[in-house]
Amino acid sequence: MNAMSIVIRVGVATDATALAELAARTFRETFAADNWAEDMALHAAVAYGTSQQQRELIDPDIVTLLVEVEGQLAGYAQLRWGVSPACVTGTKPVELWRFYIAQLWHGRGVAQALMRSVESEAYRRGSRTLWLGVWERNERAKAFYHKNGFIDVGSHVFMVGTDPQTDRILVRSLPTVMSNVGQMQRERSTRPNAPRPPEFAVNFRSLPVYSASVSFNGRHSLLLSRMIRPLGRLVIAWLEWRQKRARPLKR
């Protein structure tokens, strides 16, 4: 199966029409089954018109990230700087105002790629705390945010048309290690037949048999602990064989 090509970029004013259509469509996909049609239509008319999106795209206090998959607009996120609720106590907060992925791309890694870019963009612009409001009945979204390190700290009211609804307020910090992730994500393009990145870059002979810490592309660690000596030698020999097949990691 061919890998997807994912591009994430900052939206500009000329994206307003496409963004308005995507925003209205993803809002309907997410909430239409659980809300009155009249309230949905009223909210969409106020929030997702082309002129409204154009104003948001040029607003210096809002950053819109667009994610394209195989050249098709697949989702978007908006960061908004402003006043935070009292329950958001972290330093230099920014609101993850909107975060939507079209249904076609659910469960295919697009949302995670966009979240990594959101974190990086927020950090790059000086923020150190990310917060958002999510409808208390949107279990799928809550599970996704909890998986990405957000915790529940309170609630506020969100109006959908004439219907006052309760949003849970979720918060997470932006650690330093997130500062370069989004740039890497935006530069990444997964292509068919693309060279596979190297897997190992460590001198295994310098490590004791009973414990080896191995870097996988600089992200993860494999801990081989308290192994009997013969098995440890076999594992190290295998790792050395794998390392010979890969290029050293660039620093």
179: left (phi over 0), alpha (psi -120 to 50) or beta: alpha
What span, in angstroms and rounded, lies between the C-alpha atoms of 208 and 195? 32
Count Cβ atoms below 10 Å from residue 129 Cβ, excluding itself. Answer: 18
- Strands 93-101 and 129-135: what pairing? parallel
The pLDDT tens digits of the residues spanning 19-67 come to 999 999 999 999 999 999 999 999 999 999 999 999 999 999 999 999 9
pTM: 0.70
Q: Is residue 69 located within the same domain as residue 12?
A: yes
User: Distance between CA 162 and CA 44 in Å, rounded?
Assistant: 12
CATH number at residue 179: 3.40.630.30
Beta bridge partners of 95: 80, 131
Residue (of 146, 154, 39, 42) closest to 88 by Cα position:
154
Q: At what angle do helices 16-31 and 50-58 cross, to 10 degrees?
A: 110
Is there a single domain that holds both residue 10 and residue 99? yes
In the structure, what pLDDT confidence band is assigned to residue 3 with cuts at 50, 70 and 90? Answer: confident
**CA gap 20, 28 in Å, rounded:** 12
Say whether both 46 and 129 belong to one domain.
yes
The tens digit of pLDDT for each residue in 64-89 reads: 999 999 999 999 999 999 999 999 99
How high is the mean pLDDT of the chain? 80
Band (231; pLDDT cuts 50, 70, 90): low
Q: Does 196 fall in a domain?
A: no
**Residue 124: per-residue pLDDT:** 95
Euclidean distance between CA atoms 139 and 142, whole angstroms = 5
- Residue 68's φ and ψ, nearest 5 degrees, are -115, 135
Structurally, how many domains does the chain consist of? Answer: 2
Q: What is the largest CA-CA distance in the chain?
A: 71
Torsion of CA 18, 22, 23, 26, to 10 degrees: 180
Q: For residue 151, what pLDDT band results from cuts at 50, 70 and 90? A: very high
- Model pLDDT, residue 222: 38
Q: 216 is in which domain, residue-wise?
A: 204-244
Q: Give the single-character DSSP code of 217.
A: T
